[in-house]
Structure 1
Amino acid sequence: MQVIYNSTPMPEEDVRLSLSNRAFQYNDGFFETIMMEGGRLRFWLDHQERMREAELALHLELPDCFWDGTLEQQLLELTQQNEVSLGRLKLQVWRAGSGLYTPQTNQVEWLATVQQAAPAPEEPIHIGVCQSVRSIHSALSHVKGPQAPLYVLAGIEKQQKQQDDMLLLSLQGYVSELISSNIYWVKENVLYTPTLDTGCVNGVSRRNILRYCLEQHMEVRELQCAVGQLAEAEAVFASNVAGLRAIASIDAVPLPTQHPLISQIRKALYL
């Protein structure tokens, strides 16, 4: 498998990382998961926007190649080199240098990898309410990576409870997000989703779904919501960059899964 390490294409077995690597030592960085389909990077401008936000939040200095078209071209070439037709790219970025908690530099190192992906399934999923951890709102909670251990623990609980996914609540007990997806619900032609202060990631698909609904002159509300209120919705669904899934039940409480908005969003953004 070919990868890109600090702008240099190479076989993955040639990548060598120091024991002082700050991603390993302190989780000092972030990542982006990007879908490639039809020779293009899906939602690329929104990924760039979120990388800018991560750069500011973590006090990093990302290289010019992230913004001038070079990185975009390199990622597309990486999918070609690995003969990937539908690709799931992962871009990992971390602060360079060593040091203790106080860094020596704000420059970064980065690694891009790609895997062949399957088309996102459309079957509804069954989820449980996570009891082991809760989403934590912070200056970093809107980007991907800094709070990853929370999602690892939620993933373990998902396995134990044999669910398709887990619903994380905020520290105040409000609906926040799924393990790797944002959550939405529809009622009386209004799209609802949790506010970012519940601790949810500011997902790239979230941005696109809210934008699409507003363009369709549909009312959008971001709010804090108790789990029980979801049972009153006409449909509840989750999304990430890979696709969109209706939610069929929460802790075995059934939910309706058919709504025209779900198919409209899927067709407009993912097909």
Structure 2
Amino acid sequence: MINLNGIINKKSKLLFDYNNRAFKYGDALFETLKVKNLQVYFLEDHYFRLMASMRMLRMKIPMRFTLEYFENEIINLVKQNNLDSARVRFTIFRKSGGFYEPKTNEINYLIEATQLISVQQLNYKVDLFKDYFVYSGLLSTIKTTNKITNVLASIFASENELDNCILLNEKKHIVEVINGNIFLVKGNVIKTPPISEGCIKGVCRKKIIEIIATTHKYKLEETAISPFELLKADEVFITNAIIGIQPVTVYKKCNFTTQVSKELAIEFAKLI
């Protein structure tokens, strides 16, 4: 079952026409949320990021779109699918009409819920994706449906037996991975690209930064990162809303340790 504008429909039902703006122009954005035991993890962070993203894209936010409405629509759909834990995708798209310039800024929304599969891998191999770039700037920091670079990087990863790829921006700096943010550890310094480099303003990224800020053991640096720094790193880990923290163990001929990421994972679990 899926939820289209508050109405529960069977997945097999035809929902969109050819004028759908998400299809024609990628005029849409989305949130991926983790629900466990009918609890939406980091609900407020996801909600406020979605509202801020809609404002950036000049979408009209309906009056009923309160935090409580957002949560109830998600939980109701999870229950309708006979799940108590789920991976949820909440997609917002502008109503049909117009060419590049839309006829209206009013929106539709679609919610999908599938069985939650959240397993951390012991061996995790990554490499750089250098065919195309993520361009730095504010639009790259929100989760729009314009993800062709991520799609091509995913194909590259599959063809080369990788678990993930590291994306670069036009300055050849590290931005993120296909499905999350990235952190490098060297000694007691933990680095991650700043939002200005074009990385997604990840909810899990935000939580990890907050954890690091409360400890005197590690120093966080939000700074531009060259790919060459990967070769010198002690550890590399990635973060996203579903898996939380995933340590990277192999990059080219480098083998990384996982001690710091495991320590942070323990602290991260306390927030849930």
- Fold-level match, TM-score > 0.5? yes
Q: Does 1:263 align with 2:259?
A: no
Deviation at 1:123, TM superposition (A): 1.4
1:144-188 Cα distance to aligned partner (Å, 9 max, x none): 124311101111111221211111111111111110111001223
Q: Is the counterpart of residue 131 in structure 1 residue 130 in structure 2? A: yes
Cα RMSD after superposing both structures: 1.6
Letter in 2 for 1:254: C
2:220 counterpart of 1:220: yes
Partners of 2:133 and 2:170 within 8 A in 1: yes
Which sits farther off after the overlay, 28-37 or 187-196?
Answer: 187-196
- Counterpart Cα distance in 1 of 2:63 and 2:220: 35
Secondary structure (helix, strand or coil) at the match of 2:46 reads: helix
Deviation for aligned residue 1:44 = 1.2
Cα distance change on mapping 1:125 and 1:256 into 2, 3 Å: same
Give the 3-state SS of the residue equivalent to 1:151 in structure 2. helix
Q: Name stretches of at least 5 consecutive residues in structure 2 with no aligned partner.
A: none
State how far apart, in whole Å, the 2-side matches of 1:130 and 1:167 are: 6
Deviations 1:94-150 (A, max 9, x none): 011311001111110010010002232241310111021111123310111243111
TM-score in terms of structure 2 length = 0.93
- Map Cα deviations across residues 224-253 of structure 1 (whole Å, 9 max, x no partner): 111111222221101111122111122x22
Q: Which residue of 2 aligns with 1:110?
A: 109
What is aligned with 2:4?
5
Unmatched 5+ stretches in structure 1: none
Maintained 8 Å contact 2:249/2:258: no
**Cα drift, residue 62 of structure 1:** 2.1
Which residue type is aligned with residue 129 of structure 1? L
Counterpart of 2:250? 249
Map 1:116-155 to 2 at 5 A: 116-155=115-154
Q: Report deviation, 1:26.
A: 0.6
**Would you say the 8 A contact 2:26–2:146 is kept in 1?**
no
What SS does the corresponding residue of 1:145 show, helix, strand or coil? coil
1:98 maps to 2:97 = yes
Task: Give the alignment's TM-score, normalised by structure 1.
Answer: 0.93
Map 1:181-192 → 2, pairs under 5 A? 181-192=180-191
Counterpart Cα distance in 2 of 1:190 and 1:45: 29
Structure 1 window deviating more from structure 2 (31-40 vs 129-138): it is 129-138
Answer yes or no: is the 8 Å Cα contact 2:136–2:197 preserved in 1: yes
**Aligned-pair distance for 1:15?**
4.5
Give the equivalent residue in structure 2 for 1:76: 75
Task: Give aligned pairs, total.
Answer: 268
Deviations 1:12-49 (A, max 9, x none): 22342121111111110101110101221111111112
1:138 and 1:120 mapped to 2: Cα distance?
Answer: 32
1:33 & 1:146 partners in 2: Cα distance?
12
2:229 is matched with which residue?
A: 229
Query: Measured at CA, do residues 198 and 253 of structure 1 come closer, stay the same or move farther in structure 2, by a change above 3 Å?
Result: farther
Contact 1:182 1:239 in 2 (8 A): yes
Contact kept, 8 Å, 1:231 with 1:255, in 2: the verdict is no
AA of the residue aligned to 1:236? V
Quickly say closer, same or farther: Cα 1:117–1:68, change in 2 above 3 A: closer
Moved more, 32-41 or 132-141: 132-141
**Structure 1: distance between partners of 2:20 and 2:229:** 45
Local SS of the residue matching 2:249: strand
Give distance in 1, aligned partners of 2:123 and 2:180: 14
Whether the 8 Å CA contact 1:236–1:255 is kept in 2: the answer is no
In the alignment, the residues of structure 1 paired with residue 105 and residue 255 of structure 2 have an alpha-carbon distance, to the nearest angstrom, of 47
- The equivalent residue for 1:208 is 207
What is the distance in 1 between the residues matched to 2:214 and 2:160? 39
After superposition, give the CA deviation of every residue in 1:66-121 in whole Å (9 maximum; x if it has no partner). Answer: 32401201211211121223200011110113110011111100100100022322
